Structure 1
Amino acid sequence: MQFGQCAVTSATVRGVEVIPVTVEVVVSGGLPGMAIVGMPDAAIQEARERVKAAIRAAGFTVPNEKIVVNLAPSGLKKAGSGFDLPIALGILAATQQIDPAWTKGALFVGELSLDGRVRPVAGALACAICARSLGLDFVCASESDPVPLDDVRIFAIGHLGSAAHEGGAAACLSRHRRARDVAKAAAPLDYREVAGHEVAKRAFQIAAAGGHGLLMMGPPGSGKTMLASRMASILPPLAPDEMLEAAVVHSVAGEPIESLIGGARPFRRPHHSASLAGLVGGGSPIRPGEISLAHHGVLFLDELAEFKSSVLQGIRQPLEAGTVTLTRADGNVVFPARFMLVAASNPCPCGYYGDDDHACTCTVPQIRTYQNRIGGPLMDRIDLHLDVRRIPPAQVLASGTGTSSEELRAGVLRGRAFASRRRAAEGDASGRGSARCRMTDAAQSFLVSVAELHSMSGRAIVRTLSVARTIADMAESETVGEEHVAEAVGYRVRDGIGGC
């Protein structure tokens, strides 16, 4: 067996950032064994046994020599099983069992099974973006998610035995499937199937047009979940840059990305037992939470009052910043988290406070305590507050005749297009400054009087004005009139079921 050395390019994922790593392999005389250095985690340390078994299964010989694998830069923590493939190729190239051209000009990631098959790993899309930035080809497992990139050559390897062929990856491997090969996602649910609730549908249309948060409060069976689950059907498809950002987050989390590539916005609905790390992100290695997986999409929190208070308060800052920063001893990790919050809650522990047909069995202190579990600061950050009542049985049986998602979506697209033109003409990227909302004098006087009457906070005033601006955009109005402010205030000041 010949002695030698080889360097193979790979990468490690930290948050949604991918950092290139050089896998340096040296085979030399000494006590037989394999040592992996460079701050590897437990999964990388275990690669020693997987790599040896895979090399034998692929028909190669494991050198009975001293093997040292260094993951450079050595001061960076590395995690994951994606280093199996580059370590194996480095050993085979260092011992002249494969053509050294295999290890040149490409970035390799992949986990090896004991029979030599190459398995996909999380973060393949992010690694492909890293390869593109380095000017390299990208080699991953055949079963990896499709990659929506046309400016980088991507190759698929199914078995380590493929390395026995000469000429390198570009000459021997098949091209990986592209985003255009992905089948279109199934049609989303339609609002036409929801009987009645025309006021609620209007509120969802406004929320979708302006990217506003929405809270529904009502008794069990009133249709809150049905309304929320159809939100994605009225949202515009993901723009190319939005699709790539969202897909990278899902890729590093090990989530499928086919629907995102097809243009569908993410819709996440975690259970109310979710932990803070599950919702915001965390763990070891750090993984994005539900709010990041909902990036450029919808986060639906059903039974909002049942979530732990500490968990709910953890989403307050990301709601405004659009990012979540997790601080660890070895540095900060930033995840994108620009999502639309849609929440639903019962008004009281028994669920029937304010219901016309069922008597509530809760006391006033119980109702207040239950609603206060959501927290005033979080409520203040939700733009639209909606009371949802149960509809009569006759209307339930008439489902399929109401306003459809197609009709609602047309209004959303019209409002977004008008807002985009208006902001471009005004040179305002956000369009949320009060000076640029162009309120009429009557609208401003009305908003001031309502704010004083209900002791609205500065944030509540600005968010109400933002909703009014969205309503005006949907009406294709250059100015925000009194009627627009009045409708926005109606979604902010609640005196119905939740007005305890």
Structure 2
Amino acid sequence: MVMYGRCTVLGATLRGVEAIPVDVEVAVSNGLPGFSIVGMGDASVQEARERVRAALRSSGFQMPSDKIVVNLAPSSLRKTGSGLDLPIAVALLAATGQIDRACIENRLFVGELSLEGFVRGVAGSLAFALCAKKRGCSLVCAEDGETVSVDGLAQYGLRFLGGMRAAADLPLLSPLVPESAVCDLDFRDVAGHEVAKRALQIAAAGRHGVLMMGPPGSGKTMLASRLPSLLPPLSQEEALETALIHSVAGESIAAILSGVRPFRKPHHSASLAGLVGGGSPIRPGEITLAHNGVLFLDELSEFKSSVLQGIRQPMETGEVRLTRADGTVTFPARFMLVAASNPCPCGHLGDEETACTCTLTQVKNYQGRIGGPLMDRIDLHLDVQRIPPSDVIATGSGTSSETLREGVLKAREFARWRSLHDAGARVSASVSPDEAASGPRRPADLVRDCHLSESSREFFEQSAKAHNMSGRAIMRTLSVARTIADMEESHEVLMTHLCEALSFRVREGVGV
């Protein structure tokens, strides 16, 4: 039986956090029998030949014994992943006349094939859905994947390759229904540590970075893990943006769609590619997965110095740019950094109960692993001490997250009002409370918005000079003071606000 023909089906491949459309062109012609795939496909794409061959036979279709050439266009784009299995198989079936060509028109196909012909979901379902919407076509994918409702896009589910015989009647997929977000962790469980709670409240209000340093068992991790309970839920736009990243990474997006901000806690043995992103194909790192959420680096001094320095630029720009031989990929990375570390190798420097056994050189080397430039980019520096046993036993009676969150929301709303109504406002009415609360982008705008009096300005200048603060440290301290003033709904940054901001910047006690 002669089964010659040509056909083109629309597929897609992931690059960064974006799905790029790919034209899957199949030609079946007379010649030496063979099955070749061209167009810069990686190993998983090349392996599609065996999966497609077995899936077609298991589904009751005929596998041509002629020369088969699959071209993935554009040929200059590197294709990765197993999501091109389904469009290759569908194009082959249409080219040989085994299915109606009308059922593939204006559709984008994505899915991996099993040897039995079942269609499996692949990472990046949301990215493929957005790609299909952009191209003005519908999406055909696996039934078992997480499906997000996208306005104006029809999404069809295909469980078995044999279902292409009746492709005109494929079932519409039901979108994932977000559940109400519930945070089980509450600051009420943390006894004492009122200063630390205040610092985290300020950090949540202004999206500032925090470094907590103290002996083991002082409650650093317990405090950091409850920070998300102070943050407002994700807006619809933020949830979609964050869910896209997690979808590409192959992680569940149900919690994110319900408004829960991501909280990432990588182990201190994480590599640079694991933290910042990289690999082949390039995947988002932990700082991108923490986008619009919190990145918690526990045991900060145990991370490799080269790995830590990789997050310095993203902290400033809010994005990661990874340059490789085949081009540059940009990942978003606007996150709140919360870090915790012991003050020395033994952990007891500054501990009132246990004496430190480390030498001064050991302490300096240990804290030096963090690096001065990274420390300079962290807004709030906090010493956390152990609390008395009586306070530990009294757990459950501390300040609740609900009480602290009220102050956070009040500060963000006041910051937005101030930005909109202040004389000479430089922020439009479309700015969200999160963006307004994060402070002005330019140093000149920040200084202007602080409305410092002459005495306050002189006091701050003398304090900065006395503590040898860098220009970045001065601006970040002013930003914290502006947040504290917003929490008190004060239009001007007063000297009391500056003093509190300086107290969180100039560390004493366990520092060296």
* TM-based fold match above 0.5: yes
Structure 1 residue 301, shift from structure 2 partner: 0.3
Amino acid at match of 2:160: H
How do 1:48-447 and structure 2 match up within 5 A?
48-165=49-166, 168=167, 171-179=168-176, 181-425=177-421, 426-428=425-427, 430-431=439-440, 433-447=446-460
Amino acid at match of 2:467: H
Structure 1 residue 323, shift from structure 2 partner: 0.5
Structure 1 residue 164, shift from structure 2 partner: 1.1
> Which moves more between the two structures, 333-342 or 426-435?
426-435
Structure 1 residue 5, shift from structure 2 partner: 1.3
Q: Which runs of 5+ in 1 are unaligned?
A: none
TM (norm. structure 1) is: 0.97
Show structure 1 runs of 4+ deviating over 6 A.
Answer: none
Q: Which runs of 5+ in 2 are unaligned?
A: 428-435
Structure 1 residue 464, shift from structure 2 partner: 0.2
Query: Tell me, what secondary structure is at the counterpart of 1:396?
Result: helix
Q: CA RMSD in A?
A: 1.2
What are the superposed Cα offsets for residues 297-317 of structure 1, whole Å, 9 maximum, x if unpaired? Answer: 100000000000000001000
Query: Tell me, what secondary structure is at the counterpart of 1:175?
Result: coil
Structure 1 residue 186, shift from structure 2 partner: 4.3
| 2:484 matches 1:475 | no
Structure 1 residue 443, shift from structure 2 partner: 2.3
Structure 1 residue 76, shift from structure 2 partner: 1.2
What are the superposed Cα offsets for residues 454-496 of structure 1, whole Å, 9 maximum, x if unpaired? Answer: 0100000000000000111111111111111111111000112
Amino acid at match of 1:196: G
1:450 to 463, 469, 473: 463
Structure 1 residue 86, shift from structure 2 partner: 0.3
Q: Name the CA distance, whole Å, in 2 between partners of 1:146 and 1:7.
A: 26
What are the superposed Cα offsets for residues 379-398 of structure 1, whole Å, 9 maximum, x if unpaired? Answer: 00000000001111111111
Q: Name the CA distance, whole Å, in 2 between partners of 1:182 and 1:452.
A: 52
Q: Name the CA distance, whole Å, in 1 between partners of 2:451 and 2:142.
A: 55
Percent of pairs with identical residues: 63
Structure 1 residue 440, shift from structure 2 partner: 2.6
How do 1:458-473 and structure 2 match up within 5 A?
458-473=471-486
Query: Tell me, what secondary structure is at the counterpart of 1:11?
Result: strand
Q: How many residues align?
A: 494
Amino acid at match of 2:50: E
Q: Name the CA distance, whole Å, in 2 between partners of 1:327 and 1:4.
A: 40
What are the superposed Cα offsets for residues 160-186 of structure 1, whole Å, 9 maximum, x if unpaired? Answer: 111111xx4xx422222313x233454
Q: Name the CA distance, whole Å, in 1 between partners of 2:40 and 2:119.
A: 24
* Contact 1:205 1:408 (8 Å CA) reproduced: yes
TM (norm. structure 2) is: 0.94
Query: Tell me, what secondary structure is at the counterpart of 2:343?
Result: coil
| 2:497 matches 1:488 | no
Amino acid at match of 2:44: A
* Contact 1:423 1:431 (8 Å CA) reproduced: no
What are the superposed Cα offsets for residues 220-266 of structure 1, whole Å, 9 maximum, x if unpaired? Answer: 00000000011111111111121112111111111111111111011
